[in-house]
């Protein structure tokens, strides 16, 4: 059947219906895609946690620990308050000092800024997990050799940061060490000894005193 041009701008009835049909099909496809994304989001959403306290299991230094916590509990709080792993220090409690540094799946994180329930299913390593029996980690040994601490409060965090750095870069330069540990503050000012300890732990000669690069 022949189309009759429409009075308004030469649009034929067929082309009008075709256009409407295509738009409707596109809208319907978009709605379908949106529904699919919505369904995926629901399928992949973690189980609801809170507002009541609930049990979670964390893998810390190779062992599973189950604790019952409020949803807002941080990983640092679980380590220190629930599990007595007090090597992880609470200093600023706002992600600024690095004192609470631990490794999560091998990556350095400040545990005061991570919710404990987000750490489920990950491998968490704290300062208590570095030594094997009586044998200290080589970085811990190097800190002792270089007297790289005074009050010692920042030391576990610095050692964890050094551990993460050397795992990524086994022979970092002095500058790379400074940068790698720059998130960890030491109020006693032990930095030159700390940097020397990390140089030593990575098999490099320490800098002579007073020759800070
Ligand atoms: S206590 Fe976590 S960064 Fe200071
Ligand atoms: S040794 Fe005291 S804060 Fe670093």
- Taking the CA of 91 as reference, the closest ligand is 1
Per residue in 172-202, pLDDT (tens digit) is: 999 999 999 999 999 999 999 999 999 999 9
SS3 of 59-111: EECCEEEEEEECCCCEHHHHHHHHCCCCCCCCCCCCCCCCCCEEEECCEEEEH
Scan for tokens 């308050």, then name that residue.
81
Q: What is the mean pLDDT of the chain?
A: 85
- pLDDT tens-digit map of 104-151: 999 999 999 999 999 999 999 999 999 999 999 999 999 999 999 999
DSSP 5: B
Q: Which of ligand 2's atoms lies nearest the C-alpha of 150? A: 1
Distance of CA 198 to the CA centre of its chain: 22
Spell out which residues line ligand 2, taking CB within 6 angstroms. Answer: 149-155, 186-188, 190
Q: 118: Cβ below 6 Å to ligand 1?
A: no
| Closest Cα to atom 4 of ligand 2 | 186
pLDDT digits (tens, 9 = 90+) for 45-103: 556 787 899 999 999 999 999 999 999 999 999 999 999 999 999 999 999 999 999 99
d(CA 194, CA 209) in angstroms, rounded, equals 12
Report the distance separating Cα 130 and Cα 132, nearest Å: 7
pTM, to two decimals: 0.78
d(CA 85, CA 52): 25
Q: How far apart are CA 208 and CA 123, in angstroms?
A: 38
User: Which one of 99, 147, 149 would you pick to mutate in the ligand 2 pocket, going by the greatest count of ligand atoms within 8 A of its CB?
Assistant: 149
Pocket probe mutation, ligand 1, options 88, 92, 153, max atoms within 8 Å of Cβ: 92
- Residue 93 Cβ inside 6 Å of ligand 1? The answer reads yes
Residue with tokens 């700390």: 194
């Amino acid at each position: 059947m022949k189309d009759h041009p429409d009075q308004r701008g030469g649009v034929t009835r067929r082309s009008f219906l075709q256009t409407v049909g295509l738009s409707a099909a596109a809208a319907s496809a978009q709605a379908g895609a949106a529904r699919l994304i919505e369904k995926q989001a629901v399928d992949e959403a973690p189980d609801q946690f809170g507002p009541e306290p609930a049990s979670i299991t964390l893998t810390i230094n190779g062992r599973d620990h189950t604790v019952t916590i409020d949803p807002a509990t941080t990983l640092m709080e679980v380590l220190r308050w629930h599990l007595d792993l007090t090597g992880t220090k609470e200093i600023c409690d706002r992600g600024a000092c690095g004192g609470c540094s631990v490794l999560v799946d091998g990556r350095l994180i400040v545990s005061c800024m991570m919710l404990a329930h987000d750490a489920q299913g990950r491998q968490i390593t704290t300062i208590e997990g570095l030594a094997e029996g009586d044998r200290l980690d080589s970085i811990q040994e190097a800190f002792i050799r270089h007297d790289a601490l005074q009050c010692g409060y920042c030391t576990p965090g610095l050692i964890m940061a050094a551990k993460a750095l050397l795992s990524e870069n086994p022979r970092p330069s002095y500058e790379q060490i400074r940068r790698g540990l720059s998130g960890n503050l030491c109020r006693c000012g032990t930095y030159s000894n700390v940097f020397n300890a990390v140089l030593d732990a990575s098999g490099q000669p320490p800098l002579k005193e007073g020759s800070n690069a």
